[in-house]
Amino acid sequence: MSAAKFRRKWPAFGEGYNLDNQFSEDELMDLWADFNRPTKDLLALLWPGRKEPPSGARRALKDMANYASNKATAMRERLKGAIPTAQMYESICERIYDDLPDWARW
pLDDT tens digits along 45-68:
777 777 888 888 899 999 999 999
Instruction: Give the domain extent around 97.
Output: 3-104
| Residue 13 binned pLDDT confidence (cut-offs 50, 70, 90) | low
pLDDT, tens digit (0-9, with 9 covering 90-100), for 27-41:
999 989 888 888 888
pLDDT higher than 90, residue 14: no
Of 89, 90, 99, 16, which Cα lies nearest the Cα of 59?
99
The model's pTM: 0.85
Instruction: Provide the pLDDT for residue 8.
Output: 76
Say how many domains are in the chain: 1
Residues counted in the chain? 106
Of 74, 72, 63, 62, nearest in space to 27 by CA: 72
In this structure, which long-range contacts are made by residues 4-8, counting pairs with CB atoms below 8 Å and at least 24 apart in sequence?
A: 6/42, 6/45
Phi/psi at 14 (5° precision): -85, -20
